[in-house]
Amino acid sequence: MDSKSIFDFAFSVNVMEHVNDVGNVLERVGTSLKLGAKYRFTCPNYYFPYEPHFNIPTLFSKKLTEKFFNRRIFESSDVLDPVGVWDSLNWINVTQIKKFQKRTEGFEVQFNRSFLVSIIERIGTDREFALRRSPLMRGFLLWIVKLHLHKIAVLIPVITQPVIDCAITRISIEEVS
């Protein structure tokens, strides 16, 4: 994307975990925004020890996770192209996004701490979404929603939440470094 300062809004859903260079993509999308415009994206947060495409726990690194869960990953019948999907995952996390903000002037980064609450609530209202979770996880999440305990998820620091909901606002038009 080589366009500069032309878009009022940009968004992506479950895309950022598949890009080769998170910082470069954030910079390129950011410079395509007009002053005051936003880029909002959601994606998994790989600081949380769970890989949602394959419904597996993560074990400290992509390499170790692959070694331990090799068959569940590469022989998955739930993922259309398990090899391609696994190879494309960059294990994005909140710290990578914060590093972008520190090294790149002209952008404000905000994380939505309440996104996790809405994700948990979705288990009870979206059957297809719910069926992507294990029966045990579905039951547990439905139970905490019934008790309204899911609302305390807003207190969990964004760095440790399983999902990222981020808005990047262009606050100046100076050239990025």
Q: Are residues 103 and 17 part of one domain?
A: yes
Structure tokens at 51: 């890989």
- What is the structure's pLDDT at 102? 94
Report yes or no on 17 lying in a domain: yes
84 domain-assigned: no
Q: 3-class secondary structure for 68-100?
A: HCHHHHHCCCCCCCHHHHHHHCCCCCHHHHHHH
Q: Give the pair of three-digit tokens for residue 117.
A: 């609450």
Task: Give me the pLDDT at residue 114, please.
Answer: 97
Residue 62 resides in a domain: no
Residue 12 lies in a domain: yes
- What is the pTM (predicted TM-score) of this model? 0.91
Range of the domain at 121: 114-155
State how far Cα 63 lies from the chain centre.
20
Per-residue pLDDT tens digits of the chain, which is 177 residues long: 557 889 999 999 999 999 999 999 999 999 999 999 999 999 999 999 999 999 999 999 999 999 999 999 999 999 999 999 999 999 999 999 999 999 999 999 999 999 999 999 999 999 999 998 889 989 999 999 999 999 999 999 999 999 999 999 999 986 555
Residue 75 lies in a domain: no
127 Cβ contact list (under 8 Å, min separation 6) = none
Residue found by looking up tokens 């569940």 in the block: 72
**Residue 93 falls inside a structural domain:** yes
The overall average pLDDT reported for the chain is: 95
Q: What is the pLDDT of residue 177?
A: 52
Sign of CA dihedral 163, 58, 29, 172: positive
Residue with tokens 């981020």: 166
Nearest-CA neighbor of 162 among 171, 153, 170? 153
For residues 13 and 95, state if they share a domain.
Answer: yes
Residue 61: exposure state from Cβ atoms within 10 A (0-12, 13-18, ≥19): exposed
Structural domain count, the chain: 2
The per-residue pLDDT for 4 is 85
